[in-house]
Chains A and B, each alone.
Chain A
Amino acid sequence: MKKENTNKNISKKVTNKKNIVSLVLIIAVYILLAVLVENKILNRQFRSMIVPIGANIMLAVSLNLVTGFLGELSLGHAGFMAIGAFTGAVFTLNSNLPGLLEFILAILIGGIVAGLFGFLIGVPVLRLKGDYLAIVTLGFGEIIRSIINSINFPSGLDPEGVRIMRKGTMGLTGIEIYSNYTWIYIATVITIIVIVNIVNSRFGRIMCSIRDNDIASESIGINVSKYKVITFVIAAFFAGVAGVIYAHNFAIMMPTEFDYNRSINILVFVVLGGMGSIRGSIIAAILLTVLPEFLRETSQYRMLIYSILLIGMMIFNNSDLKHKLIKKKA
C-alpha cells in the first residue's frame, strides 16, 4: 500500500538519484518503525505517541505552506483539524461500510470538508494582512469550536436501532480505532511529498514571490488572491486529513482538544523549525511532541520547563551567540 503511493507520487518526476535515495529512506524508516512497534521495542507510552507525532507533522508542514511560504500568519489551523476530525468521526460512526473502505472515505471526506471551509474562510479573510489576519483566523478557530459545541451529532445507532444524537459539548465516543502506525506513516509521507512538490513547483515559486513582495507579484501578472486562497485550501485539506486520522486514534474526542492552544502549538512547530523549512517543521513537530512526554518524569514541572525552553530557544535563535557559533563553524 505504502510503496505504491510513494511510487506514484515520485514517478511523476524523473527517477533521478535524489528521488531514489529518498524512496529508499522512506521505506527504511518504515521498516525500522514497523520493527520497533511490532517487536514492542518501543514501550507503550512511545507507541501511543506515533499517531499524534504524525498528525503534528502533517499539521506543521501544511501550516508551513501558509505561514512559511505564503507568508500569512494563521492561528486557526486547529479549527480545520477539528472540522476534519468531527466530519470523519461522524461519518465512520454512521456508516456501515467495511473498515478499510470506510476509513479511506472518512479521510477523503474529512479533508475535502475542511478544504471547503478553508475556501469559504479564505476568500473573505485573506484580504487582511499580518496581525489582523492572525486574530481573524484565531477567531475562526473559536467560531468553529463553538459551533461544534452547539450542534447535535448523529453518532451511530443504539441497540434498538434508534439513531443517537450527542450534544457537541459532550464530544463523540465509540469512535472506531482505525489509525495505526502504518496509516499515519503513509498519510504523513504523502503529505510531505505533495507539499515538497508544491513548494518546488511553479506554484511554490509564486507563493514565495507573494511572500517576498505581493505588490511586485501582482504587477507581473500573478493573481495574488487566487493563489492565496488555493494555498489556504490545500493547507486546510491536509489539516482535515490529520484531524480524521487523529480522531480515529482515540475512542473519545472532545471539542476542547481543538482550542486555540492547539493552533498556537502548531505555529510553534513551524516557527521553531524555521519558517519555510519543511525539514525544520518535521523535526520540530517530532521533538516538541516527544519533549513534554520526556518531561513527564518531572510531572508538574513539565509545562513550566517547556515554556522556559520555548522562550530560551526563541531568544537563542535571535542572539549574537548563535551567529558567532555559526561563523565559527564556517
Chain B
Amino acid sequence: MTNVIEQLINGLRTGSIYALIALGYTMVYGIAKMINFAHGDIIMVGAYLLYVFIDIFKLPIILSVVLTIVMCSLIGVFIEKVAYKPLRKAAPLSVLITAIGVSFFLQNASLLIFSANPIKFESIIKVNAVHIGNVSIAGITIVTFIVTSIAMVLLTSFIKYTKTGYAMRAVSEDKGAAQLMGINVNRTISITFAIGSLLAAIAGILFLSQYQSLKPTMGALPGIKAFVAAVLGGIGSIPGAMLGGLALGVIESISKAYISSQLSDAIVFSVLILVLLVKPTGLLGKNFIEKV
C-alpha cells in the first residue's frame, strides 16, 4: 500500500511538470491554432540557461532562476516574431513544419555550444524529505507541487480576471471578431508565447532539479508527452491541460512500476487513443457541431 502511494506521488510530481508544459501547448494552440513543436525544446533551453547562470557565471540561485525565466520568455516571443508571424495566414501544415525546424534549430544550437555529452548539475532545491506515516515525500516533490500549484492558480486568475486575459480568450474564440473589437491580436499572441515559454522555463528548472543532468535532446520526450497530455485533457482547455498532465504522470508512473518500464510509453499513448476514440475532443474539450 505504501508503495502504491509513493508511486502515485511520483506520478503526480512528473504529472504536474507535464501539466506546466501542456499549459503552454494548449494556450498557444487555443490562440494561434498551431502545434508549437518547439515548445518542448524551450524546456531544454531553460535548463541550459540555469546551468550557465549558476555553474558558469556563479550567480546567486534566485537571480539565476529569475533570469532564466525572463530569458526564456523573450526567446519564446522572439521565435514567434521571426518564424511564426510571417506564416500567420499560411496553411497549418507549413506552420507545423516551421515549428519542427525551430525545434531542430534549438537542439542543434545547444549541441554546438554544449556538445552532446550529458552535463551533471546539482539540484538547486535542497529541501528535506517529509515523512507521513510510512510514506516519505522527497523535498523536490514538495517544491514541485507548490511551484506548479502557484503557477496554475496565477495563470487561471490571469486569464479570468485581467484585461489581457479577456483579450486572450477573445482571440482564441474568434480572431477576426476580436480584432474588430479593438484587440491587438499580434500583441496578444506575443503575450501568449511569452507566458507559454515562461511556464516551460519553470518546468525546465524543476525537471533539471529532478534528473540533475543536461543534454540537448532532453526537452523532446517530455515535450511530446506534455502535448499528449494537452490533447488528452482537450486541447485549448486550460483545466484540461492540468488534468491531462496529472493523469498522464500517474498512468506513466504506475505502468512503469507495475507493468513494464519499456512499455510505459506504449501504455500512455494507448490511453490517449482510447480516450480520443470515446471522446474525440479530449476529456474536457468542447464539443462543437459541424455545420454544412
Contact = CB atoms under 8 A, between A and B. Distances in A.
Given A131-B235, A139-B272, A303-B108, A272 B97 contact: yes
Interface stretch (A6-14, A89-97, A103-111, A145-153): A145-153
B273 A140 contact: yes
B112 A318 contact: no
A142 B265 contact: yes
A146 B83 CA distance: 33
B280 A314 contact: no
A136 interface: yes
A311 B260 contact: no
Contacts, number: 123
Interface residues of B, number: 44
B152 interface: no
A73 B94 CA distance: 12
B70 to A, nearest CB: 25
Contacts of B235: 131-132
A139 B231 CA distance: 11
B270 A308 contact: no
A139 B97 contact: no
Given A125-B273, A132-B231, A135-B228, A318 B94 contact: yes
A45 interface: no
A215 B290 contact: yes
A16 interface: no
B119 interface: no
A303 B104 contact: yes
A147 B263 contact: yes
A244 B32 CA distance: 40
B266 interface: yes
A268 B100 contact: yes
Interface in B94-128: 94, 96-98, 100-102, 104-105, 107-109, 111-112
B89 A318 contact: yes
Interface of B: 29, 35, 83, 86-87, 89-90, 92-94, 96-98, 100-102, 104-105, 107-109, 111-112, 224, 227-228, 231, 235, 260, 262-266, 269-270, 272-273, 276-277, 280-281, 290, 292
Interface of A: 67, 73, 124-125, 127-132, 134-136, 138-140, 142-143, 146-147, 149-150, 169, 215-216, 260, 264, 267-268, 271-272, 275, 300-301, 303-304, 306-308, 310-311, 314-315, 317-319
